[in-house]
Structures are given as structure tokens and as C-alpha cells.
Amino acid sequence: MTDFISSNLLRGMPGNFFTKIDRKIDAYTAKGIDLIRLQTGSPDQPTPETLVRALNHAAKQMENQGYPPCGGKSNLRQAIAEFYHRTYGVTLDPETEVTIFAGATVAIAALPQVLLNPGDVMLTADPGYPMYFICPLLARASVYGIPVDAADAFLPDYATIPANVLNKARMLMLNYPNNPTGAVATKKFFADTVAFAKKHAIPVVHDFAYAAFGFDGRIPLSFLQTPGAKQQGIEIGTFSKTYNMAGWRLGFAAGNASIIQAFSKYHDLAHSDVFGAVQDAGVQALLGSQEYVRHLQTLYQRRRHVLVSSLRAIGWDVAAPKGSFFGWFRVPDGFTSESFAQVLLDEAHVAMAPGSGFGPHGSGYVRCSLLEPEARLREAAARIEATGILKRFDSIKNKA
């Protein structure tokens, strides 16, 4: 067999961070080791039965057995507009300001190619979702990660961007509630973002994947709620987390009509459209009862309390996330994010994602999900305590 060489572009790109972690974990489970998998971002709850029934019904309809319309079915685009008006008070034109695609990852990968040219710079927060740092390479553009940390609530300060970077910036990618930090945006931050973007003529893309999950009474803000936001950018929505439809591959973008038009053109050229029955189930999700979503938010908040309190009880002083379904925990002194994640894997059989995969400023953290039952979260803390790893390094530190 002849081995053909892939393109220079592909060979110059790093692999998928999460795929690498999954392969490492698969090697452990292949040995029969019981791992508590807190590295994952795939929801553990089932899709609501009402949505499964809606899919089954819609799949039998003749209109869904051919190619779906470009840009999405009109009933789903209308449902998104109604949902935004009801939930956020935002008015959207379903014909020009909404488009449908097969999952949020498609938009994250495509939008740099839609908005950037070679040599341009995309701005984002560091740490941030790994795909934000990779996908601009497809457009032969580069990324500048604005350093964020706990002191600034993991919200970027645009005044810190170097002038030479700002001169080349042509896109700003944000994500709140945030993966990996669990931070949430404030009204002031989004207002500052609109002012910054308008001043420098930079389009904003807000990845709103964790829209439903704020804790302690916090209701996550839509970027489009901010005055002037719809003129300056778009918001990416997904059904994966809010409705546990991760495998259904259904997402959308809403906002600035010129960006929506350009993205729709690209999608029409590069991708197939979403199966019509899946889109009809999305209509049911948005316009039906949201009781299931409220139940899911309560479930994650309860799990957050269990995990954080259990880890604090064994001497790991972790910060409670404000939103999403991730914890962003500083590793103990003496560790890097990679070495601590490896110790947890080897000695406690607990899997967490090393923070270094989320950008240079994630190197002192691990990301931990809330996607296991409460009993398993307590067991994870017990396993970590049983290794003695926290006391071991406390002892070394005290002697020093």
C-alpha cells in the first residue's frame, strides 16, 4: 500500500485535544480499570423522551425524507426567533438573522474561514476551548489569547491587547458561561465588548453552548441582549447541552445579518444540511415545556455542591464554578496540570483534563466535569484522598 502525504496545512495542525485524552483513557479501561471519567464534556443524561418521540414522528413525514432546505427549515428558524424573544427579549428576523448547521463545532471551525484572511488575528480568552486556538489555522490566520485569571473573574481586559496584535485583529471569539473556567459574563463586560468591537470594527462571535447553566440564581446572559450587540456580532447556540442532544448534531447562529449570510454561503458550499426530522425535534425542544431544562440545571448545581464540598473536605481548596458544567481547579503546589492529571489517573483512577490543553494560561489547572452521578463524585474525592497525594505534597512544602 502506498502512503500518501497529507497537505502542509493539515500536517502543521495539532490533533484534537480531547481525542488524545480519550485514547489515553481507553488504554486504561481496556485493562479493566474502573475510571471515574471527569474529563469528558459529553452529557450523561438521556435526551428527553418528548424529543425522541418528536424525532420518530418527524422521520415518517415525506417532507423530511429528501434534502432539507439550505440554511435550515423555516419552522426551526422561526422557533429560534420565538425562543430568543421569549427568553432574552431579543428580536430576530428568522429569514436573515438565523441559520442552522450540524452542531456548534461546524460553526467554530467555519467562521474563521468566513471572516478571516491569511495574516489576520482572531482574539479569544486564554484559557479557552481548544478548538478556538486551532480552527483559525484553517484560514491561515493566527490566534491571540488574552490572558485571564481568577482575579479578573476570567473575563478578558481588552486594554491589555498589544497594539501590533490589535491592528491585525479581525474577529473576537467569546464563550460564557465558559468552558473550561465556569465563569459567567456580566452586563458591563458585554457592554464593554460591544464598545470595543465597534471602535475597532471587529465582529464578535459568542459561543453560548452552556446557555442554560448558571448557578446560585445566576441566569446566563445572551450576548445579543446587550444594546448594539446584534449590529456587531452573532451568537452560536447548540441543543447538545441544554437538551442532552449531543449526538443529534444540531446548532444555529443568530445575529448580524451580514455574518449570517456569509456563514450560510460557506455552509452551503462545504457541508450538508441537518436531517429535517432532527430540526423538527429542535422545534419541540425550544417551544415545548422547559421543565426538563430547569431540572437539569438543578441537577448540575447539586452535583457542583457535592464535588466542591467533597474536594474541600479532603484538603483541596477548589473554587466553585459560577456556570457551565465544569470545575476549573488549581493544581496543588509542586505539580503542573499534566503531572497532576497523570497522578490522578495512575493513582486514583480519576480522569480530569489537564489545563494546559486550554491554552498557555491553563497550565496551573485541571478541568473537571459534573457529568457523573453524585455517588461517583464523592468516590472520586475519596480515591484522591486515599492516594495521600495532597498530604504528601503539603508535607514537602512544609519542610521546605
pLDDT tens-place string over residues 294-342:
999 999 999 999 999 999 999 999 999 999 999 999 999 889 999 999 9
Residue 348 has pLDDT above 70, yes or no: yes
Residue 112 has pLDDT above 60, yes or no: yes
Q: In the structure, what pLDDT confidence band is assigned to residue 390 with cuts at 50, 70 and 90?
A: confident
With contact defined as beta carbons under 8 Å apart, do 322 and 177 qualify? yes
Instruction: Give the number of other CB atoms < 10 A from CB of residue 10.
Output: 10
With contact defined as beta carbons under 8 Å apart, do 251 and 239 qualify? yes
Distance separating the N- and C-terminal Cα atoms of the chain: 59
With contact defined as beta carbons under 8 Å apart, do 232 and 37 qualify? no
Strand 251-255 versus strand 233-238 pairing type:
antiparallel
Q: What is the mean pLDDT of residues 184-199?
A: 98
For position 26, what pLDDT does the model report?
A: 80
Location of each CATH 3.90.1150.10 domain in the chain: 8-46+291-399
Main-chain dihedrals φ then ψ at residue 269, nearest 5 degrees: -85, -35
Q: Which residues pair with 172 in a beta bridge?
A: 123, 204
Comparing 21-30, 117-126, 136-145, 299-308, which segment has the lowest mean pLDDT? 21-30
Write out pLDDT tens, residues 79-91.
999 999 999 999 9
Instruction: Give the number of other CB atoms < 10 A from CB of residue 388.
Output: 12
Q: What is the mean pLDDT of residues 369-375?
A: 97
Q: In the structure, what pLDDT confidence band is assigned to residue 7 with cuts at 50, 70 and 90?
A: confident
Between 18 and 141, whose confidence is greater? 141
Q: What is the mean pLDDT of residues 97-118?
A: 94
Superfamily of structural domain 8-46+291-399: Aspartate Aminotransferase, domain 1 (3.90.1150.10)
Secondary structure of residue 367 in the 3-state scheme: strand
For position 268, what pLDDT does the model report?
A: 85
Q: In the structure, what pLDDT confidence band is assigned to residue 398 with cuts at 50, 70 and 90?
A: very low
Report the alpha-carbon distance of residue 191 to residue 195 in Å, rounded: 6
Q: What is the mean pLDDT of residues 152-176?
A: 98
Comparing 1-10, 108-117, 157-166, 363-372, which segment has the lowest mean pLDDT? 1-10
Residue 156 has pLDDT above 70, yes or no: yes
Topology of the domain covering 49-287: Aspartate Aminotransferase; domain 2 (3.40.640)
Report the alpha-carbon distance of residue 299 to residue 293 in Å, rounded: 10
With contact defined as beta carbons under 8 Å apart, do 165 and 186 qualify? no
Q: What is the mean pLDDT of residues 374-379?
A: 98
Location of each CATH 3.40.640.10 domain in the chain: 49-287
Q: What is the mean pLDDT of residues 115-126?
A: 97
Comparing 8-12, 221-225, 239-243, which segment has the lowest mean pLDDT? 8-12
Please give the mean pLDDT across all residues of the chain: 93
What single letter denotes the amino acid at residue 163? A
For position 393, what pLDDT does the model report?
A: 58
Q: Which residues pair with 174 in a beta bridge?
A: 206
Residue 16 has pLDDT above 50, yes or no: yes
Helix (H) or strand (E) holding 267: helix 257-270
For position 33, what pLDDT does the model report?
A: 85
Report the alpha-carbon distance of residue 250 to residue 105 in Å, rounded: 10
For position 389, what pLDDT does the model report?
A: 87
Report the alpha-carbon distance of residue 30 to residue 51 in Å, rounded: 34
For position 259, what pLDDT does the model report?
A: 97
Residue 269 has pLDDT above 90, yes or no: no
For position 396, what pLDDT does the model report?
A: 45
Q: What is the mean pLDDT of residues 52-63?
A: 96
Comparing 21-25, 60-64, 87-91, which segment has the lowest mean pLDDT? 21-25
Residue 399 has pLDDT above 50, yes or no: no
Q: What is the mean pLDDT of residues 274-303?
A: 97
With contact defined as beta carbons under 8 Å apart, do 333 and 315 qualify? no
Report the alpha-carbon distance of residue 182 to residue 195 in Å, rounded: 24
Q: Which residues pair with 123 in a beta bridge?
A: 144, 172
Residue 395 has pLDDT above 80, yes or no: no
For position 394, what pLDDT does the model report?
A: 54
